[in-house]
């Protein structure tokens, strides 16, 4: 029977065949190459192209590192080469989409890949207790994120934010994403013009852009933490998993077909001004062909007026 196989393989004759990346650059390439393999497999599944003979999509694993019998009852040593802060979304299987196996990644998953205290504490644990193996920290967003979508809808319709159906905990998570949503909205307004909200597809574009900026902002915060601790050998990266073509990219074109050149993890921003540049870049990518590039520079006065409008809407919702 011809099948389309994605195999996790353990070789008992050579159980340690997968070496630890010796630096951050090698670690980044390992993750990107793993995603290229995964996206090729997904494309193969989509087109119904079966594997012929030896399967083409193989992840090497060391079963000894997850508790297979060892001499003298030894415990396996935890030695991931990457810390990945991703979303809890069930469509984003972190190890699988990076082509990694046992003991390769230290994964922290939370809705919207939002950096709360517990999430930050988990990263700190990995950087402190697993510093012998960790080479990179990665923030991974994904297209169509439900948490970001909720934040966008609350931004566009403030009454939804104060709905009784939204628990205080969920409201707190949504609030953490509002800054990314606002930055994305500013970028769309600058590129699409002051009437951007009325353009068909605005909400979907705002979600796509906010997903990227949300990941960038989380990566920026983590980069500050890593540098504050003097861990200069560790690089902080970020990207977004495009669920449509199964590739981790930055920036993200939601309509792009699968291509090895698309896969890219980029360095975390070093300056908050980079968020605005990313917002404009995403607005250009997402701009409908019917909308000319406006070139409007979003002014502080515009932002203050819009803030006042939203404040009034929120006050009305609570009165």
Residue ranges of the annotated binding site for Zn(2+) are: 87, 89, 142, 145
Between helix 202-228 and helix 146-156 the angle, nearest 10°, is 120
Radius of gyration of the chain (CA): 21
Q: How far, in Å, CA of 3 to CA of 52, rounded?
A: 8
283-to-190, 218, 235, 255 alpha-carbon distances in Å: 8, 20, 27, 14
151 alpha-carbon distance from chain centroid:
16
The token pair at 232 is: 């200069």
- Report, in this order, helix, strand and coil percent for the chain, each rounded to 5: 50, 15, 40
Convert 291-311 to b/e letters by CB count within 10 Å (16 or more is b).
beebeeebeeeeeeeeeeeee
Beta strands in 132-223 (DSSP E): 136-142
Q: Which value, to the nearest 10 degrees, does the dihedral of the CA atoms of residues 126, 129, 134, 138 take?
A: 10
Give the residue ranges of the annotated binding site: 87, 89, 142, 145
Tokens of 176: 């953490």
Residue located via tokens 């650059």 = 25
């Amino acid at each position: 029977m011809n099948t389309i196989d994605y195999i996790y393989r353990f070789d008992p004759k050579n159980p340690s065949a997968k070496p630890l990346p010796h630096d951050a650059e090698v670690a980044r390439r390992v993750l990107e190459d793993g995603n290229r393999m995964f996206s090729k497999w997904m494309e193969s599944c989509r087109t119904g192209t079966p594997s012929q003979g030896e399967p083409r999509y193989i992840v090497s694993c060391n079963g000894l590192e997850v508790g297979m019998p060892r001499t003298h009852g030894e415990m396996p040593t935890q030695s991931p080469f990457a810390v990945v802060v991703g979303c809890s979304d069930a469509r984003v299987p972190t190890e699988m989409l990076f082509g990694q196996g046992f003991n390769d990644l230290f994964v922290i998953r939370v809705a919207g890949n939002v950096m709360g205290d517990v999430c930050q504490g988990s990263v700190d644990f990995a950087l402190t207790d697993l510093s012998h193996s960790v080479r990179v920290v990665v923030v991974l967003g994904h297209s169509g994120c439900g948490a970001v979508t909720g934040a966008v809808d609350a931004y566009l319709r403030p009454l939804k934010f104060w709905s009784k159906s939204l628990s205080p905990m969920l409201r707190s998570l949504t609030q953490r994403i509002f800054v990314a949503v606002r930055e994305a909205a500013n970028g769309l307004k600058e590129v699409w013009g002051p009437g951007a909200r009325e353009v068909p597809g605005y909400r979907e574009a705002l979600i796509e852009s906010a997903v990227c900026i949300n990941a960038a902002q989380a990566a920026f915060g983590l980069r500050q933490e890593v540098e504050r601790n003097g861990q200069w050998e560790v690089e902080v990266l970020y990207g977004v998993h495009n669920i449509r073509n199964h590739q981790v990219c930055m920036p993200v074109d939601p309509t792009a077909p699968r291509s090895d050149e698309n896969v890219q993890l980029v360095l975390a921003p070093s300056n908050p001004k980079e968020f605005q540049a990313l917002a404009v870049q995403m607005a250009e990518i997402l701009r409908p062909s019917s909308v000319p590039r406006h070139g409007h520079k979003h002014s502080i006065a515009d932002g203050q007026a819009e803030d006042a409008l939203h404040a009034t809407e929120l006050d009305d919702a609570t009165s």
